[in-house]
Amino acid sequence: MGARLALALLLKQNGDTVGAGQLFDTLAKQWANADADFKPLKTLQKNR
């Protein structure tokens, strides 16, 4: 898992939905063309 994804998950867990959402959006843009079985992308989609 990447550091930014871990940070987004931590922010979400601590109630900072705005900060987590911004990181999730950034990561989603970067991984838009990633393979469907890319585990960090699956984690992002599950937690977004």
Ordered by start, the domain boundaries in the chain are 3-47
> What are 1-48's pLDDT values in tens digits?
799 999 999 999 999 999 999 999 999 999 999 999 999 999 999 998
Chain centroid offset of residue 9 CA: 7
Phi-psi region for residue 25, left (φ > 0), alpha (ψ -120 to 50) or beta? alpha
pTM: 0.88
pLDDT for res 25: 97
pLDDT of 1 reads: 72
Residue bearing tokens 């989609």: 45
CB 27 within 8 A of CB 3: no
